[in-house]
């Protein structure tokens, strides 16, 4: 049986609301504004809970990627909620075009829609790889430019919120400030402003300065980085609200920015040519785009450092970190980027790391879990735990595994603070 759904056509822009699964909550909300500026009506889904996974299990085989199961379950749950006019609703899913099974989620989604009785719902693909041409959203330079700016703003706001929220004197201050700047960034993107180099730098400064003005008490806390497969790394639905759980354990959390994955995908065009041959013009174009993206990242990092916040190095510096550990030719899934991010976190003061991976995700078991011992050999302070996310894995077991890592982290922090404590002067007679 062939499972097909209608293509998303240009005339549907004016008649259909497009639902998008929630991967990175802050970044996707700002990115939605870039699509809205092109005339699309967008809603980033927020429905979460175990029932979403159970619904996905009814229509997706449990041996398939856990993110596919969740994304499809989230779509089906939304369509069955009664909130939408289903005759004027469409779904949108991203495709990277790489070797990961994620590029095939759209086929699984169409099959699930037909089986669930929603075969008339159009499905659109958002990709830059030429996939799904008949049902892809039409991309142009203006939309790409707005998307890039949106991700940069989202990454900066997310980083600042994470570095302020654990220390804020008044609960809710950092969250309210994040909402303020998300709304501002969405407004800039929709109005076609805030995307030039000058505007971006000025806005980065204003955002960082505003967060730096929040009254805080910076007591020593365990610093935890989160890496992994892109969906379970960022999505609260995919990782059982991992960031909030870690903060509830009195930790400061660092999630490397989404732009890093975008740059990784761009860099791979050059690496393909270097390793396997191909069109040098494509490689030159990738180099040019990567330099532009790195300049924006450098501007964000400069604003962070100017106001006393942690900032990572440039992406080109990140590419050098796996040297001698893993080849840049390892680029299935998150590939060498995952290893590089773990190295950067450890070297940047976040030695405690949760490596979040879907159970059975072969690329991540190699570039993530498989690299842990090598990283520990180079950096003995590295305290890394790999956590599998799967319909059969209970939240309690996942959190208990993380708590074991945190117990070691707290011991290390206590020893570090004791070593820094001043030695009392000898008593005088």
Question: How many domains does one find in the chain?
Answer: 2
Domain boundary among 79, 108, 135: 135
What pLDDT does 93 receive?
A: 85
Q: Which of 348, 357, 261 is nearest to 301 (CA)?
A: 348
Residue 24 has pLDDT above 60, yes or no: yes
Same domain, 227 and 131: no
- Cβ distance 410 to 383 under 8 Å? no
Residue 37 lies in a domain: yes
Same domain, 109 and 231: no
Residue 274 lies in a domain: no
- Cβ distance 365 to 349 under 8 Å? no
330: domain range?
Answer: 220-256+312-416
Same domain, 250 and 127: no
Q: Which of 136, 127, 138, 82 is nearest to 100 (CA)?
A: 127
HSE (side-chain half, CA atoms, 13 Å) at 88: 12
When pLDDT is averaged across residues 177-187 and rounded to a whole number, the result is 98
Residue 183 lies in a domain: no
Domain boundary among 92, 110, 135: 135
Domain boundary among 105, 135, 165: 135
CA separation for the pair 301, 298 (Å, rounded): 5
Distance of CA 72 to the CA centre of its chain: 18
Query: pLDDT grade, residue 423 (50/70/90)?
Result: low
Q: Exposed, middle or buried, 348 (CB in 10 Å: 0-12/13-18/19+)?
A: middle
Mean pLDDT, rounded, of the chain: 91
What percentage of the chain exceeds 90 in pLDDT? Answer: 69
Same domain, 228 and 358: yes
Residue 22 lies in a domain: yes
- pLDDT tens column, 376-400: 999 999 999 999 998 888 899 999 9
Residue 267 lies in a domain: no
When pLDDT is averaged across residues 276-305 and rounded to a whole number, the result is 93
Residue 160 lies in a domain: no
- pLDDT tens column, 323-359: 999 999 998 888 999 999 999 999 999 999 999 998 7
Cβ-Cβ contacts under 8 Å for 344 (sequence gap 6 or more) = 256, 312, 313, 318, 321
Residue 371 lies in a domain: yes
The CATH number linked to 337 is 3.40.50
When pLDDT is averaged across residues 94-104 and rounded to a whole number, the result is 65
What pLDDT does 87 receive?
A: 95
- pLDDT tens column, 258-284: 999 999 999 999 999 988 888 889 899
DSSP string computed for 326-339:
S-TT--STTHHHHH
């Amino acid at each position: 049986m062939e499972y097909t759904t209608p293509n998303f056509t240009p005339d549907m822009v004016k008649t259909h609301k497009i639902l998008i699964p929630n991967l990175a909550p802050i970044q996707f909300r700002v990115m939605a504004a870039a699509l809205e500026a092109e005339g699309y009506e967008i809603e980033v889904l927020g429905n979460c809970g175990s029932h979403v996974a159970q619904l996905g299990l009814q229509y997706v085989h449990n041996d398939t990627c856990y993110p596919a199961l969740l994304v499809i379950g989230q779509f089906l749950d939304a369509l069955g909620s009664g909130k939408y006019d289903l005759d004027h609703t469409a779904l949108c899913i991203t495709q990277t075009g790489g070797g990961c099974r994620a590029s095939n989620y759209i086929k699984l989604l169409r099959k699930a829609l037909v089986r669930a009785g929603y075969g008339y719902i159009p499905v659109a693909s958002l990709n830059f790889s030429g996939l799904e041409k008949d049902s892809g959203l039409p991309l142009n330079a203006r939309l790409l430019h707005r998307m890039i700016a949106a991700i940069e703003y989202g990454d900066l706001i997310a980083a600042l919120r994470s570095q302020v929220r654990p220390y804020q004197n008044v609960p809710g201050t950092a969250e309210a400030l994040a909402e303020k700047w998300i709304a501002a960034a969405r407004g800039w993107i929709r109005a076609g402003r805030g995307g030039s180099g000058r505007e971006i730098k000025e806005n980065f400064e204003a955002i960082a300065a505003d967060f730096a003005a929040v009254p805080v008490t910076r007591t020593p806390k365990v610093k935890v980085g989160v890496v992994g497969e892109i969906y379970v790394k960022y999505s609260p639905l995919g990782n059982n609200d991992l960031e909030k759980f870690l903060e509830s354990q009195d930790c400061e959390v660092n999630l490397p920015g989404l732009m890093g994955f975008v740059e990784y995908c761009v860099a791979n065009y050059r690496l393909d040519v270097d390793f396997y041959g191909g069109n040098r013009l494509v490689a030159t174009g990738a180099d040019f785009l990567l330099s532009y993206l790195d300049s924006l990242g450098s501007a964000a990092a400069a604003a962070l450092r100017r106001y006393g916040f942690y900032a990572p190095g440039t992406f080109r510096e990140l590419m050098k970190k796996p040297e001698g550990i893993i080849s840049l030719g390892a680029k299935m899934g998150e590939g060498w980027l995952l290893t590089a991010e773990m190295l950067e976190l450890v070297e940047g003061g976040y030695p405690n790391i949760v490596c979040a991976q879907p159970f059975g995700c072969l690329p991540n078991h190699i570039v993530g879990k498989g690299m842990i011992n090598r990283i520990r050999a180079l950096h003995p302070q590295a305290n890394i735990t790999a956590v599998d996310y799967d319909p059969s894995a209970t939240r309690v077991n996942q959190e208990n595994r993380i708590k074991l890592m945190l117990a070691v982290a707290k011991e290390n922090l206590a020893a570090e603070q004791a070593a820094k404590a001043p030695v009392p002067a000898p008593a005088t007679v």
